[in-house]
Structure 1
């Protein structure tokens, strides 16, 4: 995993660490299993429009089993 720069980090309620990067997309690291999933522009499991993820924010909707992640990008 050769990442140029990490711009934002967020640990969610399910012990996953999300990393927004400079031109390398979004990464999810499961802190329980140590598995890493990457999300890149044009990837099979991704709807990212760009690979430059500046800010990651978790929105709590009151349900402990569901929440939303939002991220901001530079276009």
Structure 2
């Protein structure tokens, strides 16, 4: 699966990011992590902005909390 192509986005776009791309990237999923990597790299470079819902934050944190991994939950929360 190819990485997402961000060509054609307007300058300084605001992207609503759902749960799956965040988890795929944080957990370095072998197939889907690389697909979404360009989005997170563009964000880190200040080329686009992210918006996430409270539901997405809760869903992302559910995994670490379920297994009692407070360190991982803290890392996810910081991200």
Q: If each structure's strand is expressed as a fraction of its own residues, which one has the higher value?
A: 1
**TM-score interval, smaller chain:** under 0.3
Give TM-score scaled by structure 2 length.
0.21
Q: Which structure has the larger Rg? A: 2
Q: Which has the higher helix share?
A: 2
* Greater relative contact order (CA < 8 Å, ≥ 6 in sequence): 2
